[in-house]
Amino acid sequence: MNSTHMLRKIDVIHLGDELLLGLRANTHLQYLGRKFSQYGYTLSSDLVIRDHRDEILAAMAQVWPSTDLLITTGGLGPTVDDITRQAIASFLGLDLEFNEAVEETIRQRFSRMGREMHENNLRQCYQLKGSEIMENPNGTAPGLFLEHDGRYLAMLPGPPRELMPMVENQLLPRLLKRGLIEEQRAFIQIRTCGIGESALEAKLQPLVDAAEGVSVSFCVHSGVVDVRFAWQDAPAMERAKTSAEAAREQLGDDFVGYGDFDMAKSIIAHLSTQGQRLAVAESCTGGMIASALTDIPGASKVFSGGIVAYTNEAKVLALGIPEDFVLQHDAVSAETAVAMATAAAESLSSDYGLSTTGYAGPEGGNEQVPVGTVFIGYHSPYGAWSKRIHVNGDRSLIRQRATVYALDLMRRKLRKYRQEEDAYRAQQG
């Protein structure tokens, strides 16, 4: 299929009273926006509506006539308010057909869980006539994919843990197979950490000015700044690649990686190749570093464990730091951060230790060490260090960024060791 058949306009309709009541965060827009932007698309519209038949029909009348691909999320479950199939079938003038294979899949799922299947689950077995079933390995509600009136419809369940894998493994492969989107991305993304957005823009401006036909955008989130070098034609693509590579060289340690590079994954990969282990001790981050590490498959090969030592008593009892030491230096200090990292490494038989202690607010802190101050401790076979950072924001933001900066500190240290080892081998060789 040639480019004239490719998608031009993608729209999204989210269904769910719980979204509008604020009972559940709508993470789908961010996810779908980022996912389709990787293929050069910006979503044309995004609607959030209630699980009401009249509102579904009105939204369809607004969006369907001008869309190329409409994605709906939610309303495919077994309860009485899950009416998305019925309402959209009515709007499109299509019958609903019962799929016995879907019924068998749902019954087998309940059997594996040792639970009785209620008959209301059979609502999930109906599909719009002419549609394809998109399998849902993480839930009972399958998705539907339909070509109708020269347009495409993708109906996905609401829970993110179901929707995201289905987009990756069901929806995108169908769009690629039909030639509706291209595999080639329309941009190169680099991830940075340790440099602010304005300073980063100023640093990269000469590269941007020299790259004709290349547009640059910045996205700040969770303590990192992503930079996208986008293009519209083949010559500009080559200039974008050259600019991204030049940026990598210019940024040095502030360059994290290409794409959605994960610092925790980088740490796990490095330690795996060296046969080394890591332990963490956390106070203000409350287990967020350990969570980031254990999100990575295979982390058990290198991650020994973590200790959340939130109070002074926990630092003494769980980590074995002398009480007089904590009182002398204060719980939020460079000395205590190093002691925590070292104690974690020693108590859990690890080569490396990483720790955080700080004031996440809104209470605590003082004139010398105000709220937002966090000390990161780092223990390694080559020595132990600490780093003081200050984060502006609320309690949640301070904890999130402290987690990112702790992982970034270890990433930088490991990178330095690797460079020194490579230089030593080069000299010997």
Strands 303-308 and 278-282: parallel
Please name the residues in contact with 25: beta carbons below 8 A apart, sequence gap of 6 or more: none
Rounded Cα distance between 235 and 292, Å, is 39
Taking 70 as the threshold, does the pLDDT of residue 2 lie above it? no
Give the model confidence (pLDDT) of 314-346 as tens digits.
999 999 999 999 999 999 999 999 999 999 999
Q: In terms of DSSP H, where are the helices of 312-394?
A: 312-317, 323-329, 334-347
Give the model confidence (pLDDT) of 91-113 as tens digits.
999 999 999 999 999 999 999 98
Query: Cα dihedral sign for 387, 388, 391, 396?
Result: positive
pLDDT-derived band at 429, boundaries 50, 70, 90: low
Residue 258 · residue 249 · CB < 8 Å: no
Give the model confidence (pLDDT) of 46-94 as tens digits.
999 999 999 999 999 999 999 999 999 999 999 888 899 999 999 999 9
Whole-number pLDDT of residue 424: 66
Determine how many CB atoms are found less than 10 A away from the CB of residue 335: 16
- How much is the pTM? 0.76
Chain mean pLDDT for the chain:
93
Give the model confidence (pLDDT) of 231-249 as tens digits.
878 889 999 999 999 999 9
Angle, in degrees to the nearest 10, between helices 395-428 and 263-274: 40
Fill in the DSSP letter of residue 3. G
Per 3-state DSSP, the chain is made up of helix, strand and coil in percentages (nearest 5) of 45, 25, 30
Fill in the DSSP letter of residue 4. G
